[in-house]
Amino acid sequence: MPRYRNLEPTADFWSWRDAAACIGHEDLFYSLEDEVKGERRKKEDEAKEVCAVCPVFDTCRTFALETKELYGVWGGLTEAERHRIAGRHRTG
């Protein structure tokens, strides 16, 4: 059973993020809808570089996959990569 099934957005629930390498770099991890694809890809690549050295990489990736996170780069996976893993197709 997924450990994030019953989400409770409390400080304890999110405490794993306190050690995340992305803190302070949030602008790399989310893109605007009207952002040019080339710029989006560049930001995703830079975000993945931050993820690669993150001490909570595995926890972050597991969280994103188990909660079906729709947006941003989480655990080194882009939105499109998570959608493919989950067998979903993203439109737009």
Does residue 29 belong to any structural domain of this protein? yes
Q: What is the pLDDT of residue 91?
A: 53
Q: Tell me: is residue 63 an annotated ligand-binding position.
A: no
pLDDT in tens, 1-15: 455 555 555 667 778
Does residue 46 belong to any structural domain of this protein? yes
Find out whether 3 and 66 touch, Cβ atoms under 8 Å.
yes
Q: Tell me: is residue 54 an annotated ligand-binding position.
A: yes
Q: Tell me: is residue 5 an annotated ligand-binding position.
A: no
Does residue 68 belong to any structural domain of this protein? yes
Q: Tell me: is residue 22 an annotated ligand-binding position.
A: yes
How far is residue 68 from each of residues 35, 38, 47, 49, 60, measured CA to CA in Å? Answer: 23, 25, 19, 22, 12
Domain span at residue 27? 22-86
Does residue 59 belong to any structural domain of this protein? yes
Q: What is the pLDDT of residue 89?
A: 58
Q: How far apart are CA 70 and CA 1, in angstroms?
A: 20
Positions in the chain short of pLDDT 70: 1-11, 88-92
